[in-house]
């Protein structure tokens, strides 16, 4: 048991060192090395999870997918792992030195390390069970409760038997308040003159006002908007960095519909998810793994 705890602690310390090294490299503006260090730390963390979950080791992408398929990690964690892996691959194969990508990899890694830490630092103390009361104390408590209940019932019966008590003050106060209100109403009625009857010809005023407003209303001119031409979308070209399989769906389970040779330019239509993207192939939309594509400068 001690060896297991020592191994878990050693793994956790190694992951913490990897996160700190990634942060240090970003501070030194060594963004390419920071992305590679983030990917290395992620790979070690994934292997630890596979070892603990009895998931067979393989490529990093297969291990991440296997952990997600076996419900050992959430969908969000799976997406973050693939994002860090993709950024690290770009740093390795394309020599990416982007500060934005390095910071993104660091923040995603830091976030997922907190989730990972729960598997190795769960030495929480359970609250000690409360001391049991002795049988004599429980008996005394029940006896005292029953006596208190009996006393309350006795006082309630005596109050009902004696009849309701009438407080003269409780009757005088409402009557005095009602009298004050009546006096105030009489004073207001004497001071305020009677309401005047409205003249019969007042109903014509709104009609005249409406007609006057209608006559003074300025004519509105129809505003015609000039037709705007739809902007033409520029064609985005990407170049393959390796031999790349083209598929009709974003899955390696389906048969490929073509193969692209290295340094082949393709029309890039957009990202499908963190792993796949959409290209135009023989006049139709197709899917390829986007980590083997690079923008054409």
CATH architecture for segment(s) 236-295? Roll (2.30)
53-78: buried (b, 16+ CB within 10 Å) or exposed (e) per residue? Answer: eebeeeebbebbbbbbeeebbeeebb
Q: Which residue is associated with the tokens 């860090």? A: 84
Check: CB of residue 292 under 8 Å from CB of residue 283: no
pLDDT at 132: 42
138-to-134, 141, 147, 152 alpha-carbon distances in Å: 6, 5, 14, 21
- CATH class given for the domain over 7-117: mainly alpha
Q: Which of 43, 54, 48 is nearest to 84 (CA)?
A: 43
240-266: buried (b, 16+ CB within 10 Å) or exposed (e) per residue? Answer: bbeebbbbeebeeeeeeeeebeeeeeb
- Distance between CA atoms of residues 108 and 40, nearest Å: 14
- The angle, 0 to 180 degrees and rounded to 10, between the axes of the packed helices 99-117 and 75-93 is 140
Please state the pTM of the whole predicted model.
0.40
Q: Are strands 276-281 and 256-260 parallel, antiparallel or unpaired?
A: unpaired
| Mean pLDDT per 10-residue section of the chain, whose length is 297 residues | 54 88 94 94 91 88 91 91 94 93 92 75 41 49 56 56 58 87 90 58 48 48 52 79 90 87 90 91 91 86
Q: Could you state, in order of their start, the residue ranges of all structural domains in the chain?
A: 7-117, 236-295
For residue 284, the SS3 value is: strand
């Amino acid at each position: 048991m001690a060896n297991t705890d020592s191994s878990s602690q050693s793994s956790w310390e190694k992951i913490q060192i990897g996160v700190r090294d990634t942060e240090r490299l970003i501070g030194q503006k060594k963004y390419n090395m920071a992305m590679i260090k983030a990917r290395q730390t992620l790979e070690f963390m994934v292997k630890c999870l596979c070892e603990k979950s009895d998931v067979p080791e393989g490529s990093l992408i297969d291990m991440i997918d296997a952990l997600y398929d076996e419900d050992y990690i959430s969908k969000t964690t799976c997406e973050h792992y693939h994002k860090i892996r993709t950024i690290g691959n770009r740093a390795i194969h394309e020599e990416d030195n982007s500060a934005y990508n390095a910071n993104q990899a660091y923040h995603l890694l830091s976030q997922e390390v907190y989730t990972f830490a729960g598997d190795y630092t769960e030495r929480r103390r359970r609250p000690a069970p409360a001391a049991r009361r002795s049988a004599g104390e429980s008996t005394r408590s029940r006896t005292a409760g029953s006596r208190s209940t009996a006393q309350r019932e006795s006082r309630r019966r005596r109050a009902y038997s004696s009849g309701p008590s009438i407080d003269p003050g409780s009757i005088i106060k409402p009557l005095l308040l009602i009298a004050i209100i009546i006096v105030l109403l009489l004073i207001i009625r004497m001071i305020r003159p009677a309401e005047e009857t409205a003249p019969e010809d007042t109903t014509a005023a709104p009609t005249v006002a409406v007609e006057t407003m209608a006559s003074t209303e300025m004519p509105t001119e129809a505003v015609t908007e000039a037709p705007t031409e739809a902007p033409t979308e520029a064609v985005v070209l990407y170049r393959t960095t390796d031999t790349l399989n083209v598929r009709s769906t974003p899955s390696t389970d389906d048969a490929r519909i073509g193969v692209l040779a290295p340094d082949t330019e393709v029309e890039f239509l957009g990202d499908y998810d963190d792993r796949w993207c959409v290209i135009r192939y023989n006049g139709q939309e197709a899917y390829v793994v986007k980590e083997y594509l690079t923008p054409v400068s």
